[in-house]
Structure 1
Amino acid sequence: MNSSLQMVVPGAARSTPVERFRGQARSRLFRADLLTVLAWSSVAAAIALWLADGGATGFSTLAGSFTALGIVAGLAGMDLVLLMLLLVARLPLIDGAVGHDRALEFHRKLGKPSLYLLLAHGILIAAGYGMAEGLDPVSELVSLWVLVPDMWLAIVSIGLFIAVVVTSLVAVRRRFPYEFWYAVHLLTYAAVLTAIPHQFSTGALFAEGTWQRWYWIAICIATGAALAHYRVLEPIVATVRHQLKVSRVVTEAPGVVSIELTGRHLDELAGNGGRFFIWRFLSPGAWWHPHPFSLSAEPVLFDSSGRGRLRITVRNLGRGSAQLARLKSGTSVAIEGPYGLFSTAARSRDQVVMIGAGIGITPIRALLERTPFEPGNATVILRGHSEAELYLGAEILELCRRRGATLFHLTGPRTTGKQGWMPESAVRSGHRLASYAPHVAGADVYICGPTVWARSVISEARSAGVREEQLHNERFDW
């Protein structure tokens, strides 16, 4: 059975300046384009500096050409690896321009090209050196391993990169728990560390006095410093500063609980509804397990000093999340974040449509609480198989009444095809996304829910005229 509940707060929508969020959107898109230019410019700079230091002379012979091409492949491959590390360093500049999801997506896309370039580097160098010495590539590779200092580290590095790329493939990742994949992925750092020594100790490529040497020293130090600061230091500082502890665990529905936490300086976390944090609950058997959860409610402050309470709502989706329902009051919590662009920072239009399904409803609830809109300019669509799956539905209803938003509950069996995100009965009745949100083409559209379901919503939103910069999606896969 399909249930459609519409709630409209009386009062016509008030017009607001069309440029209210346009400047913010233009600035964010400009930063994203600038970061893209800088990323590819770094690859060009690495090769240009090599040419400026006389690298082109290597193309004078066939053997030298193979060696020179191997050097170019190595320079480009290593530069891309450092870019990959910066993309997962959680730099605010990158997160605020493209969001955490897109940064990870770019990170994954660079994996294979980086590996292919590094493999080409080894093969071409071995072929070039071998041709110059009258040896086949395999014999030359063995000779390099035995005779050249630090070369064995370079070969070990290639092996580690292969392991990282293979375990990153979706088909492989889904065969192992997240913790196994995450542990193997840490080999990226070991691969980089084992690759660096031979770059500076082998040959005259990065000899003292060359611009190349200073370029690579600078970007290696900058990358390492960014990782140490944003992946290690900042989470430690945030954990110590906020001193979060579990106050209570409340059952919202079968398999769904809200975890309320108290802490200090929570006013600093306000306005991040929809963005996610990484939580580590410091109890036996759970402290090592990171959980990426969004807030399901804005922080509630007890006093002007920032002491207060915040909340996350989680669903039992595996052994790790199942443990959270048994957390004891007083459990300390380590925190990282906030991350992502599922927030007001992504707004580009005055009108807004928020669509959530399952546990993806809870970030929608937090976003609804704070994102700016005039009465009548917001539509909220909640999707579930039944009313029981519209988690925090009563709170969302009250927020919609108070803020003047239109609310729809869409429940019932799912259909198939392009409109698979809606109940079957709604599709039979001829309803589409525009039936619930006629202004959708001119609105920011926030979508949060299971991956396949979200893709279906995004597809229909695009068909309804929604542009890419207006679509904001929070993924639940890894």
Structure 2
Amino acid sequence: MTSLLTPDTPVETTPAPVQRKVPDAVERFRPQARRRLARGDILGFLGWLSPIAAVALWLSDGGATGFSSFAGTMTALGIVAGLVGMDLVLLMLLLAARIPFIDNTIGHDRALEIHKTLGKPALYLLLAHGIFIAIGYGAAEGLDPISESVSLWVNVPDMWLAFVSMALFIAVVVTSLVAVRRRFPYEFWYWIHLLTYAAVAAAIPHQFSVGGLFAEGTWQRWYWLLLCVGTGAALLVYRVYQPLAASFRHQLRVSRVVRVAPDVFSIEMTGQHLERLAGSGGRFFFWRFLTAGHWWQAHPFSLSAEPAPAVSAGRGSAVQATAGRGKLRITVRNLGDGSARLARIKPGTKVAIEGPYGMFSTAARSRNKVVMIGAGIGITPLRSLLESTPFEPGQATVLLRGHDESELFLGQEIMALCQARGVTLFHLTGPRSRGNHAWLPQSAAEAGFTLTSYAPGIADADVYVCGPTPWAASVIRDVRSAGVPVEQLHYERFDW
């Protein structure tokens, strides 16, 4: 059955009473956006400065003198390629370290996108490093590059580790290619990707015994020590310590698993100090359920409801046993073996947590108005965002898309929130259009409705989009065509 709601017939809601505007709660968004863009410029500048600084410091220590002969030129080019390649590898690790400053500036998905983009250039530079060094050293000793490579492996201390490091880097980059990694389970690719740390560790020793990277009395020494130690510290703090600390602090346990739809279920958890997670609506966490068959898998899911406060109860109350423990919830769709098994998680199971991550939250806001567009399981993060992000009555519009009403997951909860907060809500159901506006129901597109029919002021609003990737791409095209600047469009991918 096809259900079409025109701009004049939104889902019936009872608007909240008009309240006095609170400028401090709204006017902060534009300055917030300017600060975020400024932080992005700083990160971009530092990213470009880092490899330039590495080469400049090498030149300041007399590196240019090597260009006086063929052998010296090849060796010098190899050193430059190695410096820039290693610098890019360390930048990649920093981008994947989940550092709050980076995550809160460009978002988790954008950081990983840049991380992936640097992978091939870093590998090519490291390969060039090895080839040019072999040519340069070989020319100086009268050997061909292959013979020189064998000689380096056999006769130079720690050089064999450099060859091992190169092999590990190649394995990581090859398994990162989309065409390759989709052939394997995520867990296989994840553990292979951890070889990056081993590759970096294996690359460092030969710099002490062969290269001048850590030579006493040079600025290079301090630059590389700072970069290596800083990168290692960031990984330990944000990838190891903070997740462990958060897991111990919140003491999460599964309280129940509730069926929402035939292939959709919610996992409710209780825990301590969940008020510290308030305002995380829309952001995602990595969840690790500490039971057999699950503890080694980290699942990225967004909250589908803001953390509920702890229950306070008097002596003798029936709920006294839960006093002091709050609640939170995620909603999961069965999209494979991993998520299907989560439906059988037993109450009482302990849960380890990492996060929150991403910019799909109030932290991304830049305008007073907000438009939220979701489909399928992507509706659930919008539900928690709707609950937490500030706006005045009449300044928010929510569009929910599904084949039928049963696919508008948590739809009744969203309707109740819209009624309480004065939000315009549209349920857009029916078969998908095959035309230019492919994200809309076919009946809506045939009637001539577009995105601006439902959200006329969208060009001056923050727009949050969450749903299946092809569908979201169609929405984003319409959002951009409606005049929404890229900084007002918020969409995060959870692919790997």
Q: TM-score range by the shorter chain?
A: over 0.9
Q: Equivalent residue for 1:192? A: 200
Q: Equivalent residue for 1:234? A: 242
Q: Deviations over 1:22-52 (max 9, x none)?
A: 0000001110110110111111111111001
Matched residue of 1:474: which SS?
Answer: coil
Q: How does 1:281-320 map to 2 (within 5 A)?
A: 281-303=289-311, 307-320=325-338
The reply to whether residue 324 of structure 1 matches residue 332 of structure 2 is no
Matched residue of 1:3: which SS?
Answer: coil
Residues 346 and 306 (structure 1), Cα distance of their counterparts in 2 relative to 1, 3 Å cut? farther
Q: 1:134 aligns with which of 125, 130, 142?
A: 142
Residues 16 and 427 (structure 1), Cα distance of their counterparts in 2 relative to 1, 3 Å cut? farther
The reply to whether residue 72 of structure 1 matches residue 80 of structure 2 is yes
Q: Equivalent residue for 2:113? A: 105
Amino acid at match of 2:171: A
* Unmatched runs of 5 consecutive residues or more in structure 2: 313-322
Which whole-Å CA distance do the structure 2 matches of 1:417 and 1:141 have between them?
59
Q: Deviations over 1:219-243 (max 9, x none)?
A: 1111001101110111111111100
Q: Equivalent residue for 1:454? A: 472
Which whole-Å CA distance do the structure 2 matches of 1:34 and 1:193 have between them?
29
Q: Equivalent residue for 1:24? A: 32
Q: Deviations over 1:432-456 (max 9, x none)?
A: 1111100111110000111111111
Is the CA contact 1:450–1:476 (under 8 Å) kept in the aligned structure 2?
no
Which whole-Å CA distance do the structure 2 matches of 1:103 and 1:467 have between them?
20
Matched residue of 1:4: which SS?
Answer: coil
Which whole-Å CA distance do the structure 2 matches of 1:476 and 1:219 have between them?
29
Give the Å deviation of 1:319. 0.9
Is the CA contact 2:285–2:300 (under 8 Å) kept in the aligned structure 1?
yes
Q: Deviations over 1:181-205 (max 9, x none)?
A: 1011011111101001111221434
Give the Å deviation of 1:14. 7.9
Matched residue of 2:282: which SS?
Answer: coil
Give the Å deviation of 1:12. 7.5
Q: 2:187 aligns with which of 173, 179, 183?
A: 179
- Identity across matched positions, percent: 72
Which whole-Å CA distance do the structure 2 matches of 1:205 and 1:234 have between them?
32
Which whole-Å CA distance do the structure 2 matches of 1:460 and 1:373 have between them?
24
Amino acid at match of 1:275: R
Q: Equivalent residue for 1:57? A: 65
The reply to whether residue 3 of structure 1 matches residue 3 of structure 2 is yes
Is the CA contact 2:433–2:441 (under 8 Å) kept in the aligned structure 1?
yes
Matched residue of 1:212: which SS?
Answer: helix
Matched residue of 1:302: which SS?
Answer: coil
Residues 159 and 239 (structure 1), Cα distance of their counterparts in 2 relative to 1, 3 Å cut? same
Give the Å deviation of 1:403. 0.3
Is the CA contact 2:109–2:494 (under 8 Å) kept in the aligned structure 1?
no
Amino acid at match of 1:74: G
Q: Deviations over 1:87-128 (max 9, x none)?
A: 010000100100101001000000001001100111111111
Q: Equivalent residue for 2:393? A: 375
The reply to whether residue 90 of structure 1 matches residue 98 of structure 2 is yes
Q: Equivalent residue for 1:337? A: 355
Q: Equivalent residue for 1:359? A: 377
Which whole-Å CA distance do the structure 1 matches of 2:56 and 2:203 have between them?
21
Is the CA contact 1:14–1:375 (under 8 Å) kept in the aligned structure 2?
no
Amino acid at match of 1:150: D
Which whole-Å CA distance do the structure 1 matches of 2:475 and 2:210 have between them?
54
Is the CA contact 1:299–1:308 (under 8 Å) kept in the aligned structure 2?
yes
Which whole-Å CA distance do the structure 2 matches of 1:357 and 1:474 have between them?
14
Q: Equivalent residue for 2:50? A: 42
Is the CA contact 2:271–2:327 (under 8 Å) kept in the aligned structure 1?
yes
Range that drifts further, 250-259 or 422-431: 422-431
Q: Equivalent residue for 2:315? A: none
Which whole-Å CA distance do the structure 1 matches of 2:330 and 2:19 have between them?
32
Which whole-Å CA distance do the structure 2 matches of 1:435 and 1:462 have between them?
15
Give the Å deviation of 1:146. 0.9
Q: 1:442 aligns with which of 460, 478, 481?
A: 460
Give the Å deviation of 1:129. 1.1
* Unmatched runs of 5 consecutive residues or more in structure 1: none
Q: Equivalent residue for 2:317? A: none
Q: Deviations over 1:315-359 (max 9, x none)?
A: 111111111111111000000000000000000011000011100
Give the Å deviation of 1:392. 0.1
Residues 94 and 215 (structure 1), Cα distance of their counterparts in 2 relative to 1, 3 Å cut? same
Q: Equivalent residue for 1:264? A: 272
TM superposition score normalised by structure 1: 0.97
Is the CA contact 1:82–1:223 (under 8 Å) kept in the aligned structure 2?
yes
Q: 2:415 aligns with which of 382, 391, 397?
A: 397
Which whole-Å CA distance do the structure 1 matches of 2:27 and 2:89 have between them?
39
Range that drifts further, 304-313 or 237-246: 304-313
Q: Equivalent residue for 1:114? A: 122
Q: Equivalent residue for 2:41? A: 33
Q: Equivalent residue for 1:348? A: 366
Give the Å deviation of 1:19. 4.1
Q: Equivalent residue for 1:387? A: 405
Is the CA contact 1:2–1:426 (under 8 Å) kept in the aligned structure 2?
no
Amino acid at match of 2:225: I
Is the CA contact 2:283–2:360 (under 8 Å) kept in the aligned structure 1?
yes
Q: How does 1:240-259 map to 2 (within 5 A)?
A: 240-259=248-267
Q: Equivalent residue for 1:161? A: 169
Give the Å deviation of 1:420. 1.4
Which whole-Å CA distance do the structure 2 matches of 1:112 and 1:204 have between them?
25
Which whole-Å CA distance do the structure 2 matches of 1:203 and 1:181 have between them?
33
Which whole-Å CA distance do the structure 2 matches of 1:283 and 1:72 have between them?
49
Matched residue of 1:22: which SS?
Answer: helix
Give the Å deviation of 1:431. 1.0
Q: How does 1:192-231 map to 2 (within 5 A)?
A: 192-231=200-239
Which whole-Å CA distance do the structure 1 matches of 2:61 and 2:407 have between them?
64
Give the Å deviation of 1:2. 3.0
Is the CA contact 2:300–2:494 (under 8 Å) kept in the aligned structure 1?
no
